[in-house]
Structure 1
Amino acid sequence: MQLQDIDKSRYRKHLNWVIGLCIVSLTAGSLGISQVLIHLFPDSDGSHFHWNLLGVLVTCAVIAAALKKVKNHPFMAEVVYVWELKQALNKITRKMPKLKKAAEQGNPNAMLAIQYSYSGSRQLWHLDDNTITMEELSLWQAELEGLAQAHNVTLDIELYDERILREF
């Protein structure tokens, strides 16, 4: 996955709409389904936990199916991009200890994966207004650049492909 420039305000606006619609759908759907089930199959004990749970589960499945169906709609482009970026960064994060050890030994693929992680994290944190750890990220970036210079490695995140993670 290649990093893309996206409009932060458009992303936030669309994300808020998606979250809002999911909340409204979950509330209305789960209550509606559970009330119909309670009406059709009343419980003499007055406990309707299983019908309420089933309403929530069915509504979650419907929402997931709807999101999957509209995933490729232009309205969802930024939201889906960020979701996929988070998945890509999680794959790298799970291998980060091995990547850092290999980078210290001069492995260019490890350095490239770490560079991609830092660049993607910077973009993600900027989009989500999470600036608390940006200073730490700058320190980590400087450390990586020092390693790359020491091992004569050029880091171009355009060359990153997640298949290189299989090596670690």
Structure 2
Amino acid sequence: MKLQEINKARYRNHLNKVIVGCIVALVVGSLGIAQGLIAVLPNEQGGHFHWNLAGVVISCLVIGSVLKKYKHHDFMTEVTYVWELKKQLNYITRKMRKLKAAVEEGDVIAMQIINYSYAGSRQLWQLDDNTITMEELSIWQAELDAKAREVNVVLDSEKYDPQSLANY
């Protein structure tokens, strides 16, 4: 997955609309389905927990399938990109201990993977206005850059290949 420049205002606008839409759909769907099930299949003891739970589960499944169906729609471009980027960064984070050990041994591929992780994290944090840890990220990036200079490697986030994570 390649890092892309995206319009922050458009991303925030579309993400907020998707979140609000999902919340409204969950509330309306859950209550509507639960009330429909209770009306059709009433319980004499008055316990309707299972129907309420069924309403929530069915609504979640419907929302998930709608999001999956429309994830390639133009409206969802930025939102889908960020979701996919977060997924890639999560894969990398789970392997980070092994990657950092490989960097200490001079592994060039591990350096490229971590560089991609830092660049992607920087982009995400800027999009979400989560700049609290940017200073730490700059320190980590400087340490990685120093290690790359030691082994004469030019770091480029474009060289990231998700398949290379399988080696760690």
TM-score, normalised with respect to structure 2: 0.99
Which residue number in structure 2 is paired with residue 22 of structure 1?
Answer: 22
Instruction: Return 5+ residue gaps in structure 1 as ranges.
Output: none
Letter in 2 for 1:49: F
Letter in 1 for 2:71: K
Letter in 1 for 2:18: V
State the SS of the aligned residue for 2:64: helix
CA distance in 2, matches of 1:7, 1:40: 48
Runs of 4 or more consecutive aligned structure 1 residues displaced over 6 Å after TM superposition: none
Give runs of aligned pairs for residues 56-95 of structure 1, distance below 5 A. 56-95=56-95
Instruction: Report Cα offsets for 1:103-156 as digits up to 9, x if no partner.
Output: 011000000000000000000000000011000000000000000001111111
Which residue number in structure 1 is paired with residue 141 of structure 2?
Answer: 141
Shift of 1:101: 0.5
Shift of 1:166: 1.0
Which residue number in structure 1 is paired with residue 132 of structure 2?
Answer: 132
Shift of 1:159: 1.3
Shift of 1:45: 1.1
CA distance in 1, matches of 2:96, 2:148: 16
TM-score, normalised with respect to structure 1: 0.99
Shift of 1:56: 0.4
Which residue number in structure 2 is paired with residue 162 of structure 1?
Answer: 162
Matched-pair identity in %: 62
CA distance in 1, matches of 2:45, 2:33: 20
Shift of 1:78: 0.1
Instruction: Return 5+ residue gaps in structure 2 as ranges.
Output: none
Which residue number in structure 1 is paired with residue 99 of structure 2?
Answer: 99
